[in-house]
């Protein structure tokens, strides 16, 4: 039971990270949130959020830690090759993986996505 847990923040870390990103996207980028999902036979995929920067769609995946699977993000980028890159907001430092069309950003930088200072792949 949750009430008996000592560290509720650790227990809900992923949901808190997604909620934080949602609030920042609403505050800085749009009045609505969008996501992508695919339901295939025995295989579903979902990307947390989508944002538009200079007329192009960028999928956003939120990770509460430094690791984790990005299978859904890769599937979307493969299905929609016109997406310039995928953005991964996570608990880590800035990094690019050009060969995978991915850009990793610290969670706190969500408000800067699309700013002229911020470089997208």
Domain boundaries, the chain: 14-112
List residues bridging with 48 in a β-sheet. none
pLDDT > 50? residue 44: yes
- Cα separation, 10 vs 40, in Å, equals 32
C-alpha dihedral (57, 27, 61, 44), degrees to nearest 10 = -80
With beta carbons less than 8 A apart as the criterion, state whether 73 and 47 touch: yes
14-112 architecture in CATH?
3-Layer(aba) Sandwich (3.40)
Write down the pTM of the prediction.
0.83
In tens, the pLDDT along 53-101 reads 888 999 999 998 766 789 999 999 999 999 999 999 998 899 999 999 9
CB atoms within 10 A of CB 61: 25
List residues bridging with 57 in a β-sheet. 52
96 Cα distance to chain centroid: 14
Alpha-carbon Rg for the chain, nearest whole angstrom, is 15
Residues 6+ apart with CB under 8 A from 53: 113, 114, 120
Task: Select the more confidently predicted residue: 87 or 7.
Answer: 87
């Amino acid at each position: 039971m949750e009430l008996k847990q000592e560290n509720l923040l650790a227990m809900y870390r992923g949901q808190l990270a997604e909620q934080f990103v949602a609030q920042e996207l609403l505050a800085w980028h749009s009045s609505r949130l969008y996501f992508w999902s695919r339901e295939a036979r025995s295989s579903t995929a979902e990307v947390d959020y989508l944002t538009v920067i200079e007329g192009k769609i960028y999928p956003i995946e939120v990770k509460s830690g430094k690791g984790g699977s990005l299978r859904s993000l890769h599937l979307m980028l493969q299905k929609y090759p016109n997406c310039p890159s995928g953005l991964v907001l996570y608990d880590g430092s800035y990094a690019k993986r050009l060969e995978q069309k991915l850009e990793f950003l610290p969670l706190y930088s969500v408000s800067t996505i699309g700013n002229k200072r911020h470089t997208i792949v």
